[in-house]
Amino acid sequence: MSVEIRRGTGRFLTRGEGHITRHSFSFGQHYDPDNVAFGPLVCHDDHLLGPGRGFEDHPHRELDIVTWVLTGELHHSDSEGHTGVVRPGEVQVLSAGTGVTHAEVAGPDRPTRFVQAWLTPETSDDAPAYAVTPVDAVPGELTEVTRVGAATLQVARLASGDTVTLPGEGLVHVYVASGALIRSSLAEPLSEGDAFRISDEPPHAVTAAVPTELLVWSFSR
């Protein structure tokens, strides 16, 4: 049983032309052997793209890729012929399966910020699949965003003073996408970019200090 606090100030940082990415786990040239994954979660990146900027065609295989847009809009295209525009309040799920090439570019009018998670799939040799789904988030509560195998992503949009109870699953990853949490039994205050990694704990309650958005992954053992 444990609760680990990962501060946003300690994340790996990649800067490129028109983009900034903050990595929660080892990625590319950023390597820490003690920080390569949390259960099936092998990548949890917070991206900021300038208007019209992004990542041109690049390949993936045997990954489930979940994208949650915080501001702006993200344009997707891939080698399977799928295209889509992802906006706040929608979730994009790309299952790379046996292999897919895709591009992700911010809309032309303003910067786009999004959080993207990569998960190792439970099965291999599946055909690539793609979907964008609207999410009707209930204010002040945890709302399910998507399920990918045994993994569940929930979002909580909290007003100042709202309290929400985190799941009591085997592994829980809680990311403060915006806002801040007040001091609790788990930790000192958390702010944007900070995260909990919770293992084999009972449900815990957290309270927003200001308007806050949490992204909560839970994984059964």
Q: What is the pLDDT of residue 44?
A: 97
Q: What is the pLDDT of residue 152?
A: 97
Say yes or no: 129 and 146 in one domain: no
Q: Looking at the domain assignment, is residue 185 inside a domain? A: yes
Q: Of 134, 161, 188, which residue constitutes the final position of a domain?
A: 134
- Domain range for 99 is 11-134
Say yes or no: 127 and 203 in one domain: no
Q: Looking at the domain assignment, is residue 6 inside a domain? A: no
Q: Looking at the domain assignment, is residue 90 inside a domain? A: yes
Say yes or no: 147 and 175 in one domain: yes
Q: For the domain that residue 92 is a member of, what is the CATH number?
A: 2.60.120.10
Which of 70, 74, 69 has the alpha carbon at shortest distance from 53? 74
List, in sequence order, every residue forming a beta bridge with 99; answer none if it has no partner.
none
pLDDT in tens, the chain (221 residues): 688 899 999 999 999 889 999 999 998 888 989 899 999 999 999 999 999 999 999 999 999 999 999 999 999 999 999 999 999 999 999 999 999 999 999 999 999 999 999 999 988 788 999 999 999 999 999 999 999 999 999 999 999 999 999 999 899 999 999 999 998 877 788 999 999 999 999 999 999 999 999 999 999 86
pLDDT digits (tens, 9 = 90+) for 113-171: 999 999 999 887 889 999 999 999 999 999 999 999 999 999 999 999 999 999 998 99
Q: What is the pLDDT of residue 186?
A: 73
Q: Of 78, 106, 134, which residue constitutes the final position of a domain?
A: 134
Say yes or no: 114 and 147 in one domain: no
Say yes or no: 121 and 171 in one domain: no
Say yes or no: 154 and 63 in one domain: no
211: tokens are: 């308007």
Q: What is the 3-class SS of the chain, one letter each residue? A: CEEEEECHHHCEEEEECCEEEEECCCECCECCCCCCCECCEEEEEEEEECCCCEEEEEEECCCEEEEEEEECCEEEEECCCCEEEECCCEEEEEECCCCEEEEEEECCCCCEEEEEEEECCCCCCCCCEEEEEECCCCCCCEEEEEEECCEEEEEEEECCCCEEECCCCCEEEEEEEECEECCCCCCCCEECCCEEEEECCCCCEEEECCCEEEEEEEECC
Say yes or no: 129 and 180 in one domain: no
Task: Let me know: does 46 contact 113? Beta carbons within 8 Å.
Answer: yes
Say yes or no: 71 and 167 in one domain: no
Q: What is the pLDDT of residue 221?
A: 62
- Classify burial at 196, counting beta carbons within 10 Å of its beta carbon; exposed 0-12, middle 13-18, buried 19 or more: buried
Q: Looking at the domain assignment, is residue 2 inside a domain? A: no
Q: What is the pLDDT of residue 123?
A: 84
Say yes or no: 82 and 165 in one domain: no
Q: Looking at the domain assignment, is residue 190 inside a domain? A: yes
Q: Provide the sign of the torsion angle of the four alpha carbons 13, 16, 21, 25, taken in this order.
A: negative
Query: In total, how many domains does the chain have?
Result: 2
Say yes or no: 41 and 128 in one domain: yes
Q: Looking at the domain assignment, is residue 120 inside a domain? A: yes
